[in-house]
Amino acid sequence: MTSLETTPASSPRPAQKRRRWWPAALVAGLAVLAAITVAGVRQAGERAQERVASDEIRKVATTLSLMVSGAEGESGNLPAIDPTPKATGFYGEMERAIKTVASERLAQHKAYLQELKDIGMPRLLDAHRLAQDAGLIESRMILEQAERLVPKYRDQSLQVLKDMPALIRSLAIREPEKQKMLTNLDTSLAQRNESLEQVWRLEGRILREFGLMISLLDDNRQFWYADHDELMFQRDADLKRFHQHQAAIGKMATEQEQLGKRQLANVFSALR
């Protein structure tokens, strides 16, 4: 048996780990529109307006890159994105379209984080809370509520992609330009849709992994205790399993983050 004093497991911080999943979903549609914008840029000659729009879109992408890295902090306090374009003409319409998608996704991101906070998800593995949770009933309730949020926000994010054709048709640009954009959108939408689905599949798996951690603690309640903000394990086997679950969650969160970074790389590449 390992002594209590020598086997601490620092309480994981779900809020920090879980800030990385959403950006991948958020930027999927933005990458589509950025690529479409380039197709239009190559046709038009308004270089001054092109530069204005490109600069504005880079600002949006930079905001989203902060989200991907989790730099917005636990409260998700990123600046709102105003869809009003600074450019005019064709490029202004492209800027408006991209900002509209990014603004919607950012709002969804913040709403999801707020709902997770409201149900107590950031404190799920807080050692002091766990020690006071008789039968870990509250912990299971938190996870059940979090799992119900996943299909809600998955559907919202997919709906933004589904709404893109209508957004393109609403742009004040020439009909041939709209048709070319719609064609380009059609060829890439399935891939972006799958990227979103993968993000949400990972999110569901992450929540299930948290559930396994709660089950581990529940099944071995007499062999751990809370020491301020740390969980202390009496048995190496329990500590090892706990760390394995942490590692699995970290791996999936990293995969989500990488999806987001690839999408953002597509945006920045398209704007060069």
| Residue-level pLDDT at 14 | 30
Phi, psi of 235 (to 5 degrees): -120, 130
CA distance 233 to 221: 10
Where b means 16+ CB within 10 Å and e means fewer, 95-120 reads bbbbbbbbbbbbebbbebbebbeebb
The candidate with the shortest Cα–Cα distance to 25, out of 114, 119, 118, 104, is 104
DSSP state of 13: -
Tens of pLDDT, residue by residue over 92-113, are 999 999 899 889 888 888 899 8
Q: How big is the CA angle at 260 (ends 258 and 262), to the nearest 5 degrees?
A: 70
- CA torsion, points 249, 255, 259, 264, in degrees to nearest 10? 80
Q: How many domains does the chain have?
A: 1
| Residue-level pLDDT at 229 | 83
| Residue-level pLDDT at 248 | 95
Percent of the chain exceeding pLDDT 90 equals: 47
CA distance 82 to 80: 6
CA distance 155 to 216: 32
- Residue indicated by tokens 């374009």: 85
**The whole model's pTM is what?**
0.82
Compute CA 244 distance to the chain's CA centroid, rounded to the nearest angstrom: 23
pLDDT digits (tens), the chain, 272 positions: 333 333 444 433 332 333 333 434 555 555 556 655 555 544 445 789 999 998 998 888 888 777 766 655 544 577 889 999 999 999 999 999 989 988 988 888 889 989 999 999 999 999 999 999 999 999 999 999 999 999 999 999 899 889 989 999 999 999 998 998 888 888 878 887 888 899 899 999 999 999 999 999 999 999 999 987 889 999 999 999 999 999 999 999 889 888 877 776 665 555 45
Structural domain containing residue 123: 4-270
